[in-house]
Structure 1
Amino acid sequence: MWVRDATCGLGPYRADLVETYWRWEQDPALLVGFGQQRPESLESRTEGITHQLRGANVRFTIYDLTGETPVPVGVTTMLPDPAVRTAEYIVMLAPEARGKGLGTAATRLTLDYAFHVTNLRMVWLKVLAPNKPGIRAYEKAGFRAAGALREAGYWLGQSCDELIMDALASEFTGPSVITPLR
């Protein structure tokens, strides 16, 4: 586990979990939340993970730490732009892990890592406007509304706005789990 709090941890993105990641990605609620119209085959996903593991994006497996052993429950991803020290943020949470605060905790841990390890100055995301639980989780973790792309997405067959949210290193408050060397 690379970073953790009392209930959630972020560890390595793992090739041996490709089928688990794929299963989460095929959940209809997740497809709606991302505005996707079609699922992906396991074969295609397996090919894709090899490329992802070699890429420059920062990916973590989210672990639920509330039981006796850590359980993988999702993935966070940062797509960095080193020229301007920013990154786009994406989170995927397993259906069985939703509604427990793990998405908020994982997002906060990822922001902590982004600002205190990778030294990013801003992290941003896009979320479909009808995704109220996602918006609340992002706000609790430190994101703020930054704007909207009007009618840029689809939610249950209807066009909808895609909201832009951002978090700034200069506004990141609260305790950090990143411990400096002494």
Structure 2
Amino acid sequence: MPKLFGNGVRLRAAERADLPTFVRWFGDPEVTEYLNMHSIMSLASEEIWFEGMLKKPFSEQVLVIEVADCQDIPQPEWQPIGTISFNQVDTVNRNGELGIVIGEKAYWNRSFGSEAIRTLLDYGFFELNLHRIFLRVNASNQRGLKAYTKVGFIHEGTLREASFGKGHYQDVHIMSILRPEWDKLSKKKG
């Protein structure tokens, strides 16, 4: 499986050895606060999920976000901090839905998530030839909204009270970025 490299981040295919880490991340209420998860994931349920995920094309598989412990040495140690993926790739309309989780809270607010998104956007636009990449974000997820806007996503609309959590409904924003917008932002032409 290919690895995708960004500025200080590496995206690689999820492996069976990652599953205990995923269980730890997704068992943390702070990590899952804005995810549409209504139960804690067990290792057994992660195994079932993993087997199903392996049947998907690479373009829709979950990628592990890793950061280098020390980037100045020839063989840095890569540490997993989260996951990122295209949940759906529509090859007819050339759209993809992006999802990301930074599971290691020590790496929150340090721009690694933004860089992982940039790396996956490059892959989506320049390798998969997508025209539009979109995401859904809970209206109360201020950290996510800030990161997505910083990368270049634009608010398209709001799904009113589309998510239920903590005893009440929440609005969900749809944000997207188009290939011509990314071309301008990334200074790449493909």
Confirm or deny a common fold (TM above 0.5): yes
1:90-146: CA deviations, max 9, x gaps?
A: 101112321211111111111111001111111111000000000111111221101
Question: What corresponds to 1:119 in structure 2?
Answer: 129
Shift of 1:2: 2.2
Q: 2:13 touches 2:61 (CA, 8 Å); kept in 1? A: no
CA distance in 2, matches of 1:65, 1:142: 25
1:171 equivalent in structure 2:
181
Shift of 1:3: 2.3
> Where do 1:24-103 residues align within 5 Å?
24-56=25-57, 57-67=60-70, 68-78=76-86, 79-94=88-103, 95-103=105-113
Aligned counterparts of 2:7 and 2:168: Cα–Cα separation in 1: 39
- When the two chains are superposed, the root-mean-square deviation of aligned CA atoms in Å is 1.9
Gaps spanning 5+ residues in structure 2: where?
Answer: 71-75
Structure with higher RCO (Cα < 8 A, 6+ apart)? 1
Instruction: Please state if 1:148 is matched with 2:152.
Output: no
Identical residues among aligned pairs (%): 26
Task: Figure out how many residues of one structure are paired with residues of the other and give that number.
Answer: 178
TM-score normalised by length of structure 1: 0.89
In the other structure, the counterpart of 2:73 is none
Counterpart of 1:74, as a letter, is G
Q: Judging changes above 3 Å, is the alpha-carbon distance between structure 1 residues 175 and 65 closer, same or farther for their aligned structure 2 residues?
A: farther
Q: What secondary structure does 1:34 align onto? A: coil
Kept in 1: contact 2:54–2:61 (CA 8 A): no
> TM-score, normalised to structure 2's length?
0.86
Amino acid at match of 1:92: V
**Does the 8 Å contact 1:10/1:62 carry over to 2?**
yes
Unaligned runs of 5+ in 1: none
